[in-house]
Amino acid sequence: MKTSHELVADAKARIHEVTPDEAEASLADIDLVIDVREPEEFGEDHLPGAVNIPRGMLEFKLTADPALEDRSRRVLVYCKTSGRAALSAVAMQEMGYLNVASIAGGIDAWREAGKELVKPALPDFE
């Protein structure tokens, strides 16, 4: 039986990972940025233009939303450190998505590299 770390290592061997610098440079050409972290993580901060589809709901959301049917879209996925994103990228490849990349090191690496993040603000009711 494989451990979660072995599953992630196997997934990373099957996907295309990009550095934060490569991801940032390609953002203008990306059709969809998916943050596969949980909603509370996404609410703390996320990449500009990212949509939140938690890892546990990814396959369901991709098949339920007609806007996500185009399997030729250029997609960038990320999570906290890249494990969930690697598993997500493999799932997407198995579903027929042709152009999926994952950020090596996830949002932690993105943050460390000083890249732009969106930090949602709570409404001011005063």
Query: pLDDT > 90: what percent of the chain?
Result: 90
Considering the entire predicted model, what is its pTM?
0.93
**Residue 113, CA distances (Å) to 3, 41, 47, 82, 122 in order:** 30, 19, 13, 15, 26
Domain residue limits, the chain: 4-112
Type of residue found at 45: D
Banded pLDDT at 108 (limits 50, 70, 90): very high
Q: Which residues are catalytic?
A: 79
The predicted pLDDT at position 69 comes to 87
Read off the pLDDT of residues 58-96 as tens digits, 9 standing for 90 and up. 999 999 998 888 999 999 999 999 999 999 999 999 999
Q: For the domain 4-112, what is the CATH superfamily, name and number? A: Rhodanese-like domain (3.40.250.10)
